Amino acid sequence: MPQVTKFKRAWLSRRDDNGDELNLWLKQGSKETTFQCTLCKTSDLDCANQEYSAIYQHMNTKNHKANKNSLKDNSLLAIRTLKPQTVSIANDNNSGILVIDNSQNSTLLPFNDQITKAEIVWALTVARRGFTYNSCDGIGEVFKSMFPDSKIAQQFNMQSKKISYVMSHGIGPYFHRELVKKIKSREKFVLCIDEQTNNQSKKQLDLLVKFWSNDDGLVVTRYYKSILLGHAQASVLQSAICDAFKTDGINLKRLLMLGRDNPSVNITLENLIDQKLKKLGSGLLFLGSCNLHVVHNGFKAGLSSTSWYVENVCTDIYSWFKQSPARKEDLADVINDFGDVVEKTLLYFTITRWVLLGKFVLFLCENIFDRFLTWFQQEEPLIHLLYRELSELFYLVLAQFLKYDFIVGKSGGDLCDIDFKLNEKQLNSKNIRIGERTRKQLNALTQQEREDFFKDIRNIYHGISKYFKLNLPLKNSFIRDLQILHPSMKNAQDVDQIIRVARGVPDLLIDNEIDYLRNEWLAYCIEVIDPKWIIKNKQTDSSGHEHITYHRIDFYWNNIFKITTTNGRPKYPVLTKLIKNILIISHGNADVERGFSINENIISSNRSLLSQLSINSLRTTYDTVKNSNGVYSHNIPIHKELIKAAQSSFSFFNEELSIIKAAEERIRKEKEEKENASKIYQEVLEQEEELLMTQKDLQKQQQEANLIIADGSARLQLAIKKKDSLDIERATILIGGGNNKTSCFLRMMLVPEDRSIIIRHIIETFFIIHGEPKLNMICPLGGDPARRDGPAYDSVSCTDLKRPASGTTV
C-alpha cells in the first residue's frame, strides 16, 4: 500500500524557478493531504501521492504562469480580511505585497482588478472634489506620463463617457444599495427633507436619513436620494417619497418622523404621510418644524414690526461693494476697526438668515442667538438638550426688555404664559438692552429720534417674543421629557418620564417591553458610570481655567448598551432599543441645507445637463467619501463587490441604452402610426366632403331633370286632350330629354368600394331619389345588411351602370 503524504509547511518557504516564494499563493487545503492556489483560486488539489511534485506541476501550468506574470507586472496586491467590515492598509516587508485587510483568507487581486481599483479611486476623487466629467478627458495620458514605470498607469482609462457610466451605473448604485441595507436593518429612521431650485431650473427635493449605525456605534445622517420635480405640491412630494421607498423595498412603517422646515406645503406633506402610516397601523411622531428656522423667523418678525426695511438696506450694501475691489478694501479697513462685532466677510443677505443681521445692523443687542444657532447646526444628536436651550433663549429675549421680577424662576412653558406687553413689566428706555456701542451712538440723535428709536426697539423685542410664544415647542411634554437622556438626569425618581417617552414613540415598543423598560431604567440608575464615557478631554490653560470637552451623547449611550450580565447577555435590551430610536430624532434641518452647497458644487452652471441618476450617484458617492474614516477618496475600502459593480457598469449602461432606444423607437412608431392615421382620416374627410359636394350637384341635376320630365308630362297630357300632334311630339321630346339627362348623370357615377359608410349611403340616396321606378329597388333599411341591393327588375335598365366585381353594396 503506497504511503500517504501530508501537506508540509516547509514547502511554503521554497521558491519557484523565478526565485519567488511559494507562500505568495500556496496554502494547505481543507484536508491534510491537499493544497490550494490562491492565485488561481483553485479548490483542494491532491498531493497525497505525488508529494511536492503535484505542487511543482501546478506552478508550471499555463494558467498559473499567466496569473503570476500579471501580478509581477505591478506591485503585488492582496486582500486579506482580519475581521468583517474593518479595513486597514499595511505593507508586508517580507513579501513586498500591498495588503488590504478585509477577510480571513488571503486572495491575490488580479491585474485587471487592480486597474479597476485605480479607476474607482479616481472616480471617488472626482465626486468628492466636484470635478466635471469632461475634465477627466486625457487624464489617462497624464498618468502615463507621470508614472511611466507603472503598468496600471499605462492601462488606466477614465475619459468623460466612461467615468459617467461608472459613476451612474456602478459606484453610485453600489453605495446606495449598501445604505438601503442598513436602513432596512433598523427599527426606525428619520427622514429629513428640503427643496431648492438648482442650476437646471428644476426643483430638487433632497432626502436625508438619520438612523443608528451599529457599525459606528452612533447616530449617522446620510444622503438618501434627490428627486427632480416641476410642480411640488404636497401630494406630488408624498408620491415621490413613497415611490422611492417602494422602489428600494423600504417599509414605510419604519419612518419615525419627518424633519422639515415650516412652509405650509411641508405641513400638508407631513399630514399626508401620517394618514398613510395610520392605514398601516403606525403613525408619525410630530415635533413641529426646524427650530433653527423658528429662531431666524422670530428675528425677522421683530424687524418687520418696524419701518427700518433692513433687508433692502443690506441688499443694497452688498450690491454696492460686490463689483468694486476698491470699495471692498475700504470696507475691510473700516470693519477691522470694529473688531469681532461685525462680520469680516460681507455675506449676501437671504430671508432665511435673518439673525445674521444681528451683528451687522446697529449693534442692536448682545447677540443672544449665536450659541443656539451655532450649536444646533451640528450633526450630532442634540434632541435631549433642545428643550432647555430653547427655554434659555426665550428667557434671554424676555430679559432684554422685561423687569427681572416677572421672569425670575420661570422656564419652559411658563415663559409662554407671561403677558409681556403689560406696561408695568417693561424696562424703561434707560435700562432696555441695546448694546453699549449702540447706546453711545444715541448722543448724536435728537430727543424725538431717541424716543422713536426706543419705541422701535421695544416693538422688535415684542415681535420676536410673540413669534417665539406661538412657535417654540415649550409646551411639548415629549420634548421636555427627552431631557432624561442626559447623563446628569440618571435618577430613579424620573422613571415615569422614560415611560412617557416610550409611550410617545409610535409603533416601537409593545406593552411587555414597556414593563421591562421600567426595571431596566431602575437598574441603570444604580449603574457605576466610567467618567471617560462622558468626558472626552480635560485641559487647564495658563490662567488655571479648566476646559472640558465632552463626548457625544450617543458615545455615552453606546457604552451603556455594551454592558452585559454575568452570563454575557445585554443588560439593557429594551432601553437600548428605545434610546437608539430616540437619539435619531432631528433637532433641526441644517444637515439638509448643508447639502445645498454640495449641490451647487456638483450641479454647477456648466453641468446643467446631468440626469437625475447622475446627480444621485454623485451625491451618494460624495456622502460615502465624506463619512469615511479618512475623509479622502484613497482611504475608502475597495471591496471585491465594489470592483465588480464598477466592471459591470458598462453592461448596465448598455442595457439601459437599449431600453431607452427601444422605448424611443416604440414612441416613434406610435407617432408615425398616429400621423398616418391622421393623414388617412383627413383624406377620408376630404373625399367625403368632395362627395357631398358631388351629391348636391347631382341632386340639383336630378331635380332639373325631374322638372323637365314633369313639365313634359304635363304638356303631353294637355296635348293629348287637344289632340295636337305637334305639341305631343314636342312634349315627348321634352320628356325624352329629361330621361336622357337622368341617364347621363347616372352613367357618370362610378360605384366605389365599401370604404366609407357615408359614401355608400350617398350612392343609395341617389338611387332612392331617382324618379324612374325601375331603378328604385334598393332598401337601405331592410333586407340582408351584408347585401343591401336586390336583383334588377329589368337588366336593360342597369346596363350602363358600372358595378364592382365583388358584388358589394351600392
| Bridge partner list, 90 | 99
Asked if residue 309 and residue 419 are part of one domain, the reply reads yes
pLDDT at 57: 87
Separation between Cα atoms, residue 167 and residue 123, nearest integer Å: 7
Number of domains forming the structure of the chain:
4
Separation between Cα atoms, residue 801 and residue 810, nearest integer Å: 11
Asked if residue 173 and residue 90 are part of one domain, the reply reads no
Strand ranges in 397-550 using DSSP code E only, listed in sequence order: 535-540, 546-550
Separation between Cα atoms, residue 751 and residue 808, nearest integer Å: 9
Contact (CB, 8 A) for 641 and 174 = yes
**Most distant pair of Cα atoms in the chain: their distance:** 153
Asked if residue 232 and residue 355 are part of one domain, the reply reads no
Is residue 373 situated within a structural domain?
A: yes
What's the one-letter identity of residue 532? Answer: K
Q: Under DSSP, is residue 361 helix (H, G, I), strand (E, B) or coil? A: coil
Separation between Cα atoms, residue 657 and residue 653, nearest integer Å: 6
Contact (CB, 8 A) for 48 and 5 = yes
Domain membership of residue 546 as a residue range: 479-582
Contact (CB, 8 A) for 591 and 142 = no
Contact (CB, 8 A) for 54 and 28 = no
Asked if residue 572 and residue 536 are part of one domain, the reply reads yes
CA angle, 791 then 797 then 799, to 5°: 85
Is residue 120 situated within a structural domain?
A: no
pLDDT at 102: 40
Asked if residue 428 and residue 514 are part of one domain, the reply reads no
Q: Quote the cell numbers at residue 240.
A: 415621490
| Domain edge (last residue) among 71, 88, 111 | 111
Contact (CB, 8 A) for 158 and 127 = no
Q: What is the CATH number of the domain that holds 195?
A: 3.30.420
Is residue 177 situated within a structural domain?
A: yes
- Could you tell me which of 197, 193, 284 has the C-alpha nearest to residue 241? 193
Asked if residue 301 and residue 436 are part of one domain, the reply reads yes
Residue 17, CA distances (Å) to 20, 21, 511, 720, 801 in order = 8, 10, 72, 137, 104
Whole-structure pTM value: 0.70
Asked if residue 305 and residue 191 are part of one domain, the reply reads no
Place of cell 409662554: 416
Burial class (CB in 10 A: 0-12, 13-18, 19+), 573: middle
Is residue 723 situated within a structural domain?
A: no
Contact (CB, 8 A) for 189 and 197 = no
pLDDT at 766: 56
Q: Quote the cell numbers at residue 566.
A: 454575568
Separation between Cα atoms, residue 784 and residue 768, nearest integer Å: 17
- Could you tell me which of 299, 291, 266 has the C-alpha nearest to residue 474? 291
Asked if residue 570 and residue 514 are part of one domain, the reply reads yes
CA angle, 757 then 761 then 767, to 5°: 150
Asked if residue 305 and residue 404 are part of one domain, the reply reads yes
Q: What residues contact 781, with CB distance under 8 A and at least 6 apart? A: none
Tally of helices (H runs) and strands (E runs) in the chain: 28, 13
Q: pLDDT tens, 330-341?
A: 777 776 665 554
- Could you tell me which of 320, 373, 379 has the C-alpha nearest to residue 349? 320
> Which residues does the chain have with pLDDT short of 70?
1-4, 70-108, 263, 335-367, 629-631, 744-810
DSSP line for 526-586 = TPPPPGGGTEEEEEE-TTS-EEEEEPPHHHHHHHHHT-B-TTS-BS-HHHHHHHHHHTTS-
Asked if residue 330 and residue 352 are part of one domain, the reply reads yes
DSSP 21: B
- Could you tell me which of 783, 775, 786 has the C-alpha nearest to residue 809? 786
Is residue 596 situated within a structural domain?
A: no
DSSP line for 163-206 = HHHHIIIIIHHHHHHHHHHHHHTSS-EEEEEEEEE-TTSSEEEE
| Domain edge (last residue) among 582, 598, 624 | 582
Contact (CB, 8 A) for 255 and 191 = yes
Is residue 237 situated within a structural domain?
A: yes
Contact (CB, 8 A) for 78 and 114 = no
Separation between Cα atoms, residue 526 and residue 540, nearest integer Å: 31
Calculate the CA 446 to chain-centre distance: 57
The values of phi and psi at residue 211, to 5°, are -155, 165
Is residue 366 situated within a structural domain?
A: yes
The dihedral region occupied by 544, where left means phi > 0, alpha psi between -120 and 50, and beta the remainder, is left
Q: pLDDT tens, 743-800?
A: 766 665 544 444 455 555 556 555 555 444 444 444 444 445 444 444 444 444 444 5
| Domain edge (last residue) among 457, 473, 489 | 473
Separation between Cα atoms, residue 279 and residue 273, nearest integer Å: 10
pLDDT at 810: 36
Asked if residue 192 and residue 80 are part of one domain, the reply reads no
DSSP β-ladder status, 203-213 and 97-101: unpaired
Over its C-alpha atoms, the chain yields an Rg (Å, rounded) of 44
pLDDT at 746: 63
Contact (CB, 8 A) for 715 and 727 = yes
Helix axes 573-582, 511-525, angle to 10 degrees: 100
User: Cβ atoms within 10 A of the Cβ of 651, count?
Assistant: 12
Separation between Cα atoms, residue 235 and residue 476, nearest integer Å: 28
Contact (CB, 8 A) for 412 and 481 = no
Separation between Cα atoms, residue 194 and residue 197, nearest integer Å: 11
pLDDT at 788: 46
Asked if residue 307 and residue 439 are part of one domain, the reply reads yes
Contact (CB, 8 A) for 230 and 202 = yes
Separation between Cα atoms, residue 231 and residue 265, nearest integer Å: 12
Is residue 419 situated within a structural domain?
A: yes
Dihedral of the alpha carbons of 168, 173, 174, 177, in degrees to the nearest 10:
170
Separation between Cα atoms, residue 656 and residue 665, nearest integer Å: 14
Calculate the CA 556 to chain-centre distance: 33
- Could you tell me which of 479, 488, 469, 490 has the C-alpha nearest to residue 410? 469
